[in-house]
A and B are shown apart, each in its own frame.
Chain A
Amino acid sequence: MSLLKPFSKLPGLNTANILLVEGEEQFQQSLADALVEETAFTVNVRLAKSLPLPLENEESRPRIDLVVFIINLTSELSFQSAEASLKYLDPGYFLGKVCFMVTNARNASVPTEQLDAVRKLAASLHCPLLFAEDQTPDGVTNAAERLMTILKVAAGLVPMATSLYLSSLTRCTVPLDIDQPSFE
C-alpha cells in the first residue's frame, strides 16, 4: 500500500506544501489560487481527486506539510471518497497534519446526519474541522486565510508552536448529545 508519509523527505527552505484532496475538483482550484498569493514564504499547492497519489509523481513531490480533505455536504459521494482516501495516509499525519474542510453546511437540503457523520469522523481522528463558503470570492479568501494559519504551524514556520500542539487546541469535538434527536 502506498502510504503518504509525513517525514520521509527533507523540508524546503521557507516553503510550505499543502495537499488539497477533493472528490469534485471544484473548490480546490479557487482555494489554490488564493493560497499561492502568500508572499511571506513560498506555498506549493498539490491538487488531487483522491488518495492514493500516483507513483509517477513520487520523486518530484515535495514533503507535504498539511493534507486538507474538502467535503461537500450536499454530495454523499464526496464524503465517501474522502473516507476511502484516509486509508492511504500514514498515521503520522494524524498528529495535526490533517484538516477537514466542509462546504455547503448552510444548505437547507443537507440532512443533519451528514454533518454529524463528518463531525464524528473528524473527532475520532483528532483533526480540526473548518467550514467554508465556496461561492463568493470573499468566502474563498477567508477559507484560505484560516488554512494558512494551520499551514504555517504545520510547516514549522511559527516558532514555539508545533502542529500537534495546535491540533490539541483546535481539534473537532463532538457534543455529548449528538445522537439525540434535535427539535428544529
Chain B
Amino acid sequence: MDDSTRRLLQRLIRRIPAPMLKPTLEKWGRLTVAQRQSMDYTQRKWPLTEKLLSICEENEWTTKHITELEMICVIDNPNQGMWRAFQLMDPEDDAHSLELTQFKEQFKSHLSELVRHVSVKIKKHTDEAVWIRIAWGDGFSRPNHLKPTYVVHHLQTSFVFVTSLTSKQKPLLSQALVLSTRHHAIKDANLSGRNLTAIRDLLMRQYEQVFPTKYSSPLEEKNQTPSNPHIEREQAGPFANRLQMACEAFGGGTLPQLQSAVYKLETKFRDQTNRNMTEREEPFRCVVKFESTNLLESLRHSASSGIASTPVTPLLSSIPLKGRNYFVITDNGPGPASQMHPSQK
C-alpha cells in the first residue's frame, strides 16, 4: 500500500470526531462483517488508526477508496473550512434542463482538458446538491489528495459553493464550471462563511421571511409579551414596531449563521468639526468588519432593542437582501453592481 494512501487515511481518521467514526465507516460499507466486528470503538483513536491501516493492507484499498470515505465525512460535516459562494451568469437556453449525467461527463472532460493530472469525484447528495471533490496535480506531478477542493452546486440554480481553492486553480475551475453548466460567465457572489448550510440558506432564502403588514397583530402575540397579567410593558407599541421592522429586514425565527461582514469604504471623510480631513481630495479608505458567532441574529437584536435605528439602514439590511457579506462603498452615483450608496446621515 502506498505511503501517501497511508498518510491520507491517518489524517482522515484524525479529522473525524470520535463519536462519528462508527457511523461513517458503516455508511462507507467497505469493511467486511468480520472486520467490522473486530473494531473496538471504545479504544482511543491511535490504536483504531493502526487497526484500520492493517485492514487497509488486507483489503488493498487504494487512494480512490479513501477519498470516498473522505467525501462521506465532509458531506456529513460540511461546516468546517471557509466556503465561498459564486454565481453563474448568462445562462444559455438549455441551462435549465441540464441533467446530472450530462453535467458529470462535461465537467470531468473539461477539467481534464485544462489540467493534465486531476482527480475528480462527483456525487449527488439526497437533497439535490451535487458534491464535487477535486484533487489538483499539474503537468509534472500526480494529484495532491491532501489539499482537495470541494465544490457544491445545485443543478438548475446559479449558485456554486467552493472551499479550499487557490488563486491559480480558480480560473481553471471557473472555466470548467461555466462550460459544463451551459452559462457564459461566473462571478464572485461576495459571500463567504464557515457554515455551508448557512450561506446556502441565505442565498436561496430558505429561512423564515417576514413581510410588511399593515396590521401587525400576529407578531404582537409572538413577541416577548410577558404572559403574566401583573407585568405590563409601558411602551409596547414602539417595541412591537421595532421588532417588526427588524424582522422584516433580517427575517424571523432562526437565522443562518454568518460569521462576518466586511465593508470597504472609499468615501470622502465627512465631519464638520474636522476641517483638515474634510478638505482632502482623496477618499478616506477604511475597512469596517463586523464579527460574531451569529451575525444576523446580533444585527436583528440590535435593531429590535433600539441600538441600531429603525427603519434598518440599507447598509445592514442588504446583507440578507442581496445575500452578500463583502461590500465596497463609494461616494458616486449609480455605479456597477458591486457598489452601493452610503446612506445620507
Residues of A near any B CB (own CB < 8 A): 19, 24-26, 29, 32-33, 36, 42-49, 53-54, 56-57, 61, 77
CA distance A61 to B234 in the complex (A): 9
Answer whether A47 and B232 are a contact pair too, CB < 8 Å, given A29-B226, A33-B226, A54-B237. Answer: yes
CA distance A24 to B237 in the complex (A): 16
Contact across chains for A32 and B234 when beta carbons are under 8 A apart: no
Binary flags per residue of B232-252, CB closer than 8 Å to A gives 1, else 0: 111101110000000000000
A56 / chain B contacts, CB cutoff of 8 Å: 237
Q: List 9 A-B contacts (CB under 8 A).
A: A19-B234, A24-B305, A36-B231, A43-B230, A46-B232, A48-B234, A49-B235, A49-B238, A54-B237
Is B33 part of the contact surface with A, judged by Cβ < 8 Å?
no
Contact across chains for B232 and A25 when beta carbons are under 8 A apart: no
Q: State which of B228, B238, B239 has its C-beta within 8 Å of the C-beta of A36.
A: B228
Residues of B near any A CB (own CB < 8 A): 224, 226, 228, 230-235, 237-239, 305-307
CA distance A48 to B235 in the complex (A): 6
Q: State which of B224, B228, B230, B306 has its C-beta within 8 Å of the C-beta of A49.
A: B306
CA distance A61 to B305 in the complex (A): 24
Main secondary structure of the interface of B (DSSP, over half): loop
CA distance A61 to B237 in the complex (A): 16
Contact across chains for B230 and A54 when beta carbons are under 8 A apart: no
CA distance A26 to B305 in the complex (A): 9
Answer whether A44 and B226 are a contact pair too, CB < 8 Å, given A24-B305, A25-B305, A54-B237. Answer: no
Interface centre among A46, A47, A48, A53 (most CB of B within 10 A): A47
Contact across chains for A44 and B230 when beta carbons are under 8 A apart: yes
Contact across chains for A33 and B231 when beta carbons are under 8 A apart: yes
